Chains A and B, each alone.
Chain A
Amino acid sequence: MSRLLEVEALEVSFGAASAVRGASLALDRGETLCLVGESGCGKSVTALAVMGLLARNASRGAARLSFDGQDLRGLDERGMSRLRGNRMAMIFQEPMTSLNPAYTVGSQMAEVMLRHRGGTRAAAMARAEDLLGRVRITSPAMRLGQYPHQLSGGLRQRVMIAMALMCDPELLIADEPTTALDVTVQAQILRLLLDLQKDLGLAMLLITHDLGVVARVAHRVAVMYAGEVVETAAAADLFARPTHPYTRGLLACVPVPGKVARGAALGSIAGVVPRLGPGFSGCGFRDRCGEATAACGGTIARASAGEGHDYLCRLPPGWRAGAGAAP
């Protein structure tokens, strides 16, 4: 496999607030990386930073930000827009943010193709129809002439996926693509994404706060907290040996039939995600962490819990709650 996306020490701030604080990610072709964490942890901002779509009041810095070996840091808006929708595409949680209510599905899809690849309008329409069929929309030819508001939420989300695929992207970033959908439709859309990924060799960065989705689709997982990647591992490894207290906390919150007795109290994480300033030092999770000690206010080094599994915490891998804590 070859490395497609590399992000190292990404920093994004909005005025005096840091949204992303030194996050690093890497994604190979054909791989799915899930970015998970509570709302406000910086998942969407990380994705937008990669796509060059940050709000004007944001400032971005990184030690490395490369797509297929090309440094994105020096690229101007023209250069980025040549990549966007073309070699890298993005799907948002709310499809209406990327669909224009004033144009038909067909003309919006064709427009993406014409802009990046040229060719005739008829050819672009034919491709749009083909892709609507691939995302299993019934009567695709008829849908081409419909407006977004005439479609259900599930159909709109499929149109968005089809539109993102118009130019055969190598990287697909999907930000909570199924969060607003019914479980039945969610399962259909995720299956579809996984099928397309296999067929097309897509690399996918999937942002979600749903650990069920993560477990079922991710090859690798990056857990984000307060702008940092606090743990990263292969999916099976992360669920088998979660190591960062935040990861363990998140997993304990979800009722799992057969594992958590019905009606028993669920684990929970007290408090909320803090908004940290640029001068913040020490562990960002310490005011919510049951294992915090004075040492957590100092510099925390990244530790390894095995091959491809690292985490940002002073505790040793395999630590047990309470063991070794101050009396």
Chain B
Amino acid sequence: MSAAPIIDVRGVRRSFRVRQGLFAAPRHVAAIDGVSFSVGAGEVLGIVGESGCGKSTLARVILGLLPPSAGEVLVDGQRVADMDRRARARLIQPVFQDPFSSLNPRRRVRDVVSMPLDAQGDVPAAEARRRVDEMLARVGLDPSMGERYPAELSGGQRQRVAIARALVLRPRIVVCDEPTSALDVSVQAQILNLLAELRDALGLTYLFISHNLAVVEHVATEVAVMYLGRIVERRETSALFGAPAHPYTKALLASVLTPEPGLGIPDTGLGDAMPDPSNVPPGCSFHPRCPVATARCRVDIPATARVAGGQSDCHLL
């Protein structure tokens, strides 16, 4: 079952220059440090990892919103960097975390959803209107909502608006960066159900970034685990959650608190050292926190090993 890749990420790096104080010399933060993977059409690739590991940077590079420092991204066989903005918008669209700040407060919902159509410049007004109405209905919003302003909507309704805007051009790929993190569980469930419905109905491919592992396990067909700008494990969802290979993945999964009373709080075994992307340790960058690190891990970068349903980078594999 190997569908043609619709997203192909090849050796992408992206670094930022940051100054930590007025007189400090600028340092380089390697937000993405050599990432390659591909995603088949119709898949949902979940991306997980701790804050600052580079998930959003990767999303922005794939969306063409941020040029990579090295490497390239192909979407549907075309280099994102060479694509015209309008063509890109017809192919790939984002849905971001914060429905409160990602919608322009001064425009009516109808105009917000219509924006990508208007930016195309060649969609007749009547046609645009029809497609906006259709999209509002599809995401479960009453047409009268179109006349309201974002501030008059609840968080869940705003996220529906953001989804309608992302889908109005009928893209093939949607990049969701923490789409439900700002929402209550009750509303999160509605949005996750909606995203699943839309994927089936419209044949979408999702990149789904979330720090909520239970949500990723529920929605993703494949999962990539990131640590300090690299993908350390990439597996089919059931393989990853059933038998995590990488010590970091194991620690992440161990920290998940499922709603089962009596199990207490697990010991992650990770210690207190926190990852710092401006100061990446040599060898395996996870070694200062790895409970099973050996001398070799401090020196050699681990190669990629095949494991059931995917691959992982660790000397022990």
Contacts and interface: CB of A to CB of B under 8 A. Distances in A.
B257 A265 contact: no
Contact of B261 (A38, A194, A209, A239): A239
B64 interface: no
Contacts of B256: 183, 212
Contacts of B270: 184, 188
Contacts of A138: 272-273
B186 A253 contact: yes
B189 A216 contact: no
B215 interface: yes
Nearest to A190: B265
B258 interface: yes
A256 B19 CA distance: 43
A293 interface: no
A272 B154 contact: yes
B252 A184 contact: yes
Contacts of A213: 257
Contact of A210 (B50, B217, B237, B257): B257
A51 interface: no
Interface in A149-164: 152-155
A262 B237 contact: yes
Interface stretch (B26-34, B111-119, B190-198): B190-198
Interface size class of B (residues with CB under 8 A): 35 or more
A214 interface: yes
Given A215-B258, A255-B218, A256-B258, A209 B184 contact: yes
Interface in A112-155: 136-138, 152-155
Nearest to B238: A262
B267 interface: yes
B58 interface: no
Given A250-B186, A268-B190, A255 B214 contact: yes
A250 B272 contact: no
Interface in B260-291: 260-268, 270, 272-274
A152 B217 CA distance: 28
Contacts of B268: 184, 187-188
B121 interface: no
Contact of A187 (B193, B219, B257, B258): B257
A104 interface: no
Contacts of A184: 50, 251-252, 255, 268, 270
B185 A209 contact: yes
A239 B260 contact: yes
Nearest to A152: B274
A268 B261 CA distance: 22
Nearest to A191: B265
Contacts of B254: 187
A236 interface: yes
A187 B258 CA distance: 12
Contacts of B50: 182, 184-185
B152 to A, nearest CB: 12
Contact of B188 (A185, A253, A272): A253
B259 interface: yes
B241 interface: yes
B156 interface: yes
Given A182-B211, A183-B213, A272-B154, A263 B260 contact: no
Contacts of A218: 261
A180 to B, nearest CB: 9
A268 B51 contact: no
Contacts of B215: 255
A38 B186 CA distance: 8
A136 B261 contact: no
A53 B286 CA distance: 43
A263 B208 CA distance: 14
Interface in B171-207: 184-190, 192-193, 196
13 contacts: A136-B272, A137-B272, A184-B50, A186-B255, A187-B254, A209-B185, A210-B257, A215-B261, A215-B262, A215-B263, A235-B261, A251-B259, A254-B185
Given A250-B186, A253-B188, 10 more contacts: A39-B184, A211-B259, A212-B259, A213-B257, A235-B261, A254-B189, A255-B192, A257-B258, A262-B217, A266-B189
Interface of A: 38-39, 136-138, 152-155, 182-188, 190-191, 194, 209-218, 235-236, 238-239, 249-257, 260, 262-263, 265-270, 272
